[in-house]
Amino acid sequence: MSGTGGASATGPGAVQTYWCRRAWLPSGVADGVRVEVADGVITGVAVGETPTGTVLPGLVVPGFANAHSHAFHRALRGRTHDDRGSFWTWRNHMYALAERLEPESYYRLARAVYAEMVLAGYTSVAEFHYLHHQQNGRPYDDPNAFSHALVTAAADAGIRLTLLDVCYLAGGFDRPPTGVQRRFADSDADAWAHRLESFRPASGLVVVGAAIHSVRAVPAEQLPAVVHGAADRPLHVHLSEQPQENAECLARHGCTPTRLLAAAGALTPRTVAVHATHLDPADITALAESWVCLCPSTESDLGDGIGPARQLADVGVRLCLGSDGQSVIDPWFEARALEWHERLASTRRGRFTPGELLSAATAHAASGWSGLGELAPGRGADLVCVDTGSLRTAGADQAGILYAATASDVTDVMVAGEWVVRDRAHLRIADVPAALETSIAALTDIGG
Ligand code: ZN
């Protein structure tokens, strides 16, 4: 897809016709759905049709949106559990890995990780990218060397990418960056903005966005400059993932991280607050105009806690979902875990409808993509076919697929009108597990 808008293999303007035995439309699951696609866009949808064109198996759903990813964390999966530990000891493993990466090795790893994402049904990923510099903290000759590596990796894996250039200035409240943190850190918000402004991605299906690493890593007086530098781009920020961040912010600034961001003008309709796990009622209200990205698998893995997702939704916060630390890459799991976490915290069922879960799981708009996330005319042609007759899904009712399917049940994935996965195989990378194994083995005589 690189360099194109995803035009059909049969040429610009050609209409491809697909017939879905079942498809999840904005009005619900329908039978016998004809979908017409031209130039990467859905141009027609009709229900109750007889088979015509290419027949798609199972149930067809819109492509999933991964609104928060650190691709390199995939190399930590299954490697940080032996010594018990905490969020902060996990972070030490992550830092050891970050110390080793170079643009070429990160390209190989990210290409495999993004391929794993497409195989699971993700068609866009927002990469929260904070590894910018050489080991000594100096920029590469091309200050965007890592960003270009990620763009190429996403293009080769066939996934839409939102490259979020992360502003990271401090190693904690009133602490300069040390050790590997120097690879993440810029001297100030202006230096960060300069790199962001200079970045010109070489491939087509890319959105460039901005991010504040956290209120730990961007001093309060620099926050307005980051908001200004982000301009009209998506602006993502880690928020209140751990109680320690709240306690330190309260001690330093006398307020919560949410209120600190609000005071800096950082909570806009384009803002995505990632995690938002430990909030008070006033924080929830302050986030009403923004997005919150829950990352249920990571929040479980790291023992973060359970965020107030239903309360956030009730005040109008738009929800999205991310795979974050890559302990799991499975949009079906994240969608049902959003509801399951609510059930565990509230001891009640039915906190979100299946339609609400699908909306959160397909919220590409949080990452700056317009016109995605629904099977409807005028929307981007991102289609996912899921096997409804597998060991896991057989017998489930159709909207219940979010409670039954796993990444292993995805059979076919179309991104911007082009097939990337057919019959469970990635069409561009022959052996994705081998690509993962090789790229991780090159990096992991570390910590785990
Ligand atoms: Zn994160």
| Model pLDDT, residue 320 | 98
Backbone angles phi, psi at 439, to 5 degrees: -70, -35
- In 3D space, the residue among 382, 383, 376, 418 whose CA is nearest the CA of residue 7 turns out to be 418
Q: Is the pLDDT of residue 6 over 70?
A: no
Distance CA(125)–CA(367), nearest Å, equals: 8
Its CATH architecture, for the domain 16-61+375-432, is Roll (2.30)
| Model pLDDT, residue 398 | 83
Q: Is the pLDDT of residue 20 over 70?
A: yes
| Model pLDDT, residue 260 | 98
| Model pLDDT, residue 163 | 98
The active-site residue, picked from 275, 341, 364, 426, is 275
| Model pLDDT, residue 84 | 76
Indicate the pLDDT class of residue 400, thresholds 50, 70 and 90.
Answer: very high
- In 3D space, the residue among 367, 369, 68 whose CA is nearest the CA of residue 214 turns out to be 68
How far, in Å, is the centroid of ligand 1 from the Cα of 324? 5
| Model pLDDT, residue 342 | 97
The CATH topology of domain 64-366 is TIM Barrel (3.20.20)
Torsion of CA 148, 384, 331, 184, to 10 degrees: 0
Distance CA(429)–CA(110), nearest Å, equals: 13
275 is an active site residue: yes
Residues β-bridged to residue 62 = 383
Q: Is the pLDDT of residue 95 over 50?
A: yes
Indicate the pLDDT class of residue 399, thresholds 50, 70 and 90.
Answer: confident
- In 3D space, the residue among 336, 339, 328, 340 whose CA is nearest the CA of residue 297 turns out to be 328
Q: Is the pLDDT of residue 396 over 70?
A: yes
Q: What is the mean pLDDT of the chain?
A: 95
How far, in Å, is the centroid of ligand 1 from the Cα of 322? 9
How far, in Å, is the centroid of ligand 1 from the Cα of 1? 27
The active-site residue, picked from 156, 301, 304, 324, is 324
Please say whether the beta carbons of 117 and 413 come within 8 A: no
How far, in Å, is the centroid of ligand 1 from the Cα of 294? 10
pLDDT, mean of residues 408-429: 98
How far, in Å, is the centroid of ligand 1 from the Cα of 239? 9
| Model pLDDT, residue 153 | 98
Q: Over pLDDT 70: what percentage of the chain? A: 97
Distance CA(290)–CA(191), nearest Å, equals: 26
- In 3D space, the residue among 170, 163, 173 whose CA is nearest the CA of residue 184 turns out to be 170
Say which amino acid occupies 100: R
pLDDT, mean of residues 61-70: 98
| Model pLDDT, residue 178 | 96
Please say whether the beta carbons of 331 and 295 come within 8 A: no
pLDDT, mean of residues 159-171: 98
Distance CA(278)–CA(264), nearest Å, equals: 20
How far, in Å, is the centroid of ligand 1 from the Cα of 433? 24
pLDDT, mean of residues 419-444: 96
For ligand 1, a single-atom ion, the residues with CB < 5 A are: 324
| Model pLDDT, residue 10 | 60
How far, in Å, is the centroid of ligand 1 from the Cα of 168? 13
pTM for this prediction: 0.95
pLDDT digits (tens, 9 = 90+) for 167-218: 999 999 999 999 999 999 999 999 999 999 999 998 779 999 999 999 999 9
Q: Over pLDDT 90: what percentage of the chain? A: 90
- In 3D space, the residue among 10, 65, 64, 2 whose CA is nearest the CA of residue 37 turns out to be 10
Say which amino acid occupies 402: L
**CA neighbours closer than 13 Å in the CB half-sphere of residue 375:** 29
Indicate the pLDDT class of residue 262, thresholds 50, 70 and 90.
Answer: very high
DSSP structure string for 171-215: SBTTB---TTHHHH--SSHHHHHHHHHH---SSSSEEEEEEE--T
18: which residues sit within 8 A by CB, 6+ positions away?
34, 35, 36, 37, 53, 54, 55, 56, 383
How far, in Å, is the centroid of ligand 1 from the Cα of 130? 10
How far, in Å, is the centroid of ligand 1 from the Cα of 22? 35
Q: Is the pLDDT of residue 2 over 70?
A: no
Burial class (CB in 10 A: 0-12, 13-18, 19+), 376: middle
Indicate the pLDDT class of residue 419, thresholds 50, 70 and 90.
Answer: very high
Backbone angles phi, psi at 340, to 5 degrees: -65, -40
141 is an active site residue: no
Domain boundaries of the chain, sorted by first residue:
16-61+375-432, 64-366
Indicate the pLDDT class of residue 3, thresholds 50, 70 and 90.
Answer: very low
pLDDT digits (tens, 9 = 90+) for 209-261: 999 999 999 999 999 999 999 999 999 999 999 999 999 999 999 999 999 99
Indicate the pLDDT class of residue 446, thresholds 50, 70 and 90.
Answer: very low
